[in-house]
Amino acid sequence: MPSEAAGSGAEPPGAPRERRRRRGRARARTEALLHTLKRSRRVKANDRERNRMHHLNAALDELRSVLPTFPDDTKLTKIETLRFAYNYIWALSETLRLA
């Protein structure tokens, strides 16, 4: 039976260890550089989230513009808009089904 330590990667005691150089993303960075990178990533993430919300709000405004509401000056909330659109589409499809 072969030795179990041979394939396990274990080194005999006292054997010299080779030091491997770190490459790629594992470089040692200063604390100031890490802080700058984290801040930069957070700013970019905030920009992406802000743009996502602007697009979502624009889409909801467009949806509100095609839904019949009474009175006209009432602005529906986001969840009310989605629920109303769902019910409106259901009612239209029922009307078509019955006609």
Whole-model pTM?
Answer: 0.62
The model's pLDDT over 24-48, given as tens digits with 9 standing for 90+, comes to: 665 678 999 999 999 999 999 999 9
- The DSSP annotation for the chain comes to ---HHHHHT---TTPPPPPPPP-GGG----HHHHHHHHHHHHHHHHHHHHHHHHHHHHHHHHHHHHS--SSTTPPPPHHHHHHHHHHHHHHHHHHHHH-
Q: How far apart are CA 81 and CA 65, in angstroms?
A: 10
Q: What is the mean pLDDT of residues 2-25?
A: 59
Domain ranges within the chain, ordered by starting residue:
18-98
User: Regarding the domain delimited by 18-98, which CATH topology (the fold level of the hierarchy) does it fall under?
Assistant: MYOD Basic-Helix-Loop-Helix Domain, subunit B (4.10.280)
